Amino acid sequence: MNVSNKIFFDALVRFLGSLKLSFVLLLLLGALAAQKAIMAQKAIDMEDEPWFLTALNTLGGISPEAVSTLLMVVLGLFVINLLLSSVKMVKKVRGRQEAFKRLKTAREISRLADHAVITVTGDPSDRLIAFFAGRGLKVTGEQGPEGIRLHAGKRQAGLWGGFFFHLTFMIVLVGALLSTLTRYAGYIALSPGDIFVEKRSGYMRVTDRPLLFGRDRLFRLRLDNIDVSYWKPGLAKQRANIVTLFAADGTDLGRQRMEINHPLHVDGVTVYQGTRQGFVADLHVTDRAGTTVKARARFRFPEQPGERMTSSITLPGTEVTLLMELFTEKIREIQGLERFFPNHIATLIKVSSVERGAPVFRGVVFRGTALSFEGLTVGFDDLKPYSSFVVKRDYGVPVIFASFISLLLGLIVAYYWVPENWWAACERNEEEGYRITIGAVTERYSETFAERFAEQVEALQSEVRKT
């Protein structure tokens, strides 16, 4: 590599690892992520869009693919910036550590902001070393023809505080990457007695299979009982389920109670208590040809007094949509809802079909009976309560939480583990005896350290002048 190429390469490395580039890339990452995720989408709900949302929408108007590509480019540059700046910081910290360990002459010590000179008659070398060691300082030194020179330091690890902040960003990026590669979530709804087997076909809704660790876990979850009550419609007093877990090999893992914020953890998967509860109606629909299909209509518990419980189903293989409204005396068995629905004195479903975009009332069907219209027979077989569950797995979450530990360690190291470095040069003087030049530096809190330095010098003076 010739000289000009080396100069260009060094300048490029300095630029890619610079703090200014870090700030620019962080701003770009924030803008691009916001445009793709939240802010630009919410702008449609505002009458007067702020200028920054208009700009984000304009950026998004390029194309989603272009924004995604730009986001990946900026993210890649940010990773390079973090790696290079971290390497530069490691070199800088190690260089400072070596510089602090270097012994100083009396003239160099006298240039420090905090320094003092002490004269004594006898050789103070041993007492000087003992003084530093007694205050938790690690002492190194050398004996020369003119006297002894010492360095004493402690809490040198505090120099790495800034590195922890870089490490935090890198851990977050690793966690985000791991989350992207392993994350998936699924939704299920079970009635008492139902068993869920953890596989993709067992979910009502599920995200795409992750790139890593996407195999089915095959554990089973059986819902034994639902324990739900309300203060009033829409305001839950308690949402809980009693479930039994079974491992993939059939081993009974025991019966457990699930509540909001008290999930279950099994085989790397977390099962959360959902917020949707209600009734599920088992139906069968038969056409003129005698073909029968099974269907389930779910009716959520009302969230307002007098609110109707409605649902809709589209018959498989057809474009026939049925609108349904449930009336059931079972609603009065739910604590907190009993007094709000006095008109529900029986269990029935009001059935309507959708014709040319408008609902057409077809009749009512009681549990255990059937309703016929237009060549279809709708049978109402059973009504059971149901509860929802959200199943998630994301191996990146623990890593991202670890980044907060790294951040906390960085703060502790940077602000509470402040390095101190002391130097002393003891020279023999024919007229004065021994002349001690002592000085010290600290990374932070220089004003309070100056007061403490004066106190330590006074204590040292008393110590070395002892006969």
Per-residue pLDDT reduced to its tens digit, 216-252: 999 999 999 999 988 888 888 889 999 999 999 999 9
185 and 139: one domain? no
Count of beta carbons in the 10 Å neighbourhood of residue 450: 13
pLDDT at 287: 87
For 430, the token pair is 């024919």
pLDDT surpassing 70 at residue 56: no
pLDDT for residue 181 is more than 90: no
CATH of the domain at 115: 3.30.160
Which domain range does residue 354 map to?
278-386
State which of 31-40, 374-383, 396-405 shows the largest mean pLDDT.
374-383
| Residue pLDDT, tens place only, 256-294 | 999 988 999 998 899 999 989 999 999 999 988 888 989
Domain count across the chain: 4
Q: Which residues pair with 119 in a beta bridge?
A: 435
DSSP sequence for 359-374: EEEEEEEETT-EEEET
Confidence of residue 61 (pLDDT cuts 50, 70, 90): low
Confidence of residue 173 (pLDDT cuts 50, 70, 90): confident
Q: Give the SS3 label for residue 312.
A: strand
CB 317 within 8 A of CB 416: no
User: Which range, 353-367, 410-424, 426-440, has the best average confidence (pLDDT)?
Assistant: 353-367
Give the model's pLDDT for residue 447.
Answer: 82
Q: 297 and 354: one domain?
A: yes
Least confident of 266-280, 342-356, 368-382: 342-356
From residue 368, alpha-carbon distances to 112, 280, 287, 293, 315 in Å are 94, 14, 18, 16, 20
Nearest-angstrom CA–CA distance, 32 and 62: 12
Contacts (Cβ under 8 Å, ≥6 apart) of 185: 206, 207, 390, 391, 392, 393
Query: Closest Cα to residue 202, out of 271, 287, 142?
Result: 271
In a domain, 95, yes or no: no
Q: Is the pTM for the entire model greater than 0.95?
A: no
303 with 336, same domain? yes
Domain-embedded: residue 245? yes
**CA 133/CA 395 separation, integer angstroms:** 47
Q: Look at residue 51 and tell me if it is in a domain.
A: yes
Question: Cα–Cα distance between 65 and 62 in angstroms, integer?
Answer: 8
pLDDT for residue 13 is more than 60:
yes
273 and 180 fall within a common domain: yes
Residue 293, Cβ density class (10 Å: 0-12 exposed, 13-18 middle, ≥19 buried): middle
Output Rg (C-alpha) for the chain, integer angstroms: 37
Domain membership of residue 183 (yes or no) is: yes
* Residue 42, pLDDT score: 42
Where a domain ends, among 81, 116, 142?
Answer: 81
Whether residues 460 and 382 share a domain: the answer is no
Report pLDDT for 44: 38
**In this structure, what are the phi and psi dihedrals at residue 238, rounded to the nearest 5 degrees?**
-155, 135
Is the domain of 58 the same as that of 11?
yes
Please indicate, yes or no, if residue 92 is contained in any of the structural domains: no
Question: Does residue 243 sit in the same domain as residue 258?
Answer: yes
Question: Which of the four pLDDT bands, split at 50, 70 and 90, describes residue 77?
Answer: confident
**How does residue 59 score in pLDDT terms, banded at 50, 70 and 90?**
low
Tell me the per-residue pLDDT of 24-48, one tens digit each, with 9 for 90 and over: 877 777 666 655 544 434 433 444 5
pLDDT mean over 46-71: 56
- Identify whether residues 77 and 18 lie together within a single domain: yes
Is residue 58 in a domain?
yes
Q: Does 135 share its domain with 187?
A: no
Among residues 52, 81, 110, the one where a domain terminates is 81
Confidence of residue 188 (pLDDT cuts 50, 70, 90): very high
Helix, strand, or coil here: 231?
A: strand
Kindly state whether residues 316 and 456 are assigned to the same domain. Answer: no
Looking at the domain assignment, is residue 303 inside a domain?
Answer: yes
Do the domain assignments include residue 96? no
- Pick the more confident residue, 460 or 192: 192
What's the pLDDT score for residue 325? 94
Whether residues 215 and 303 share a domain: the answer is: no
Query: How far apart are the C-alpha atoms of 243 and 262, rounded to whole Å?
Result: 13
At residue 397, the pLDDT reads 84
Is residue 253 located within the same domain as residue 395? yes
* Last-in-domain residue among 360, 376, 405: 405
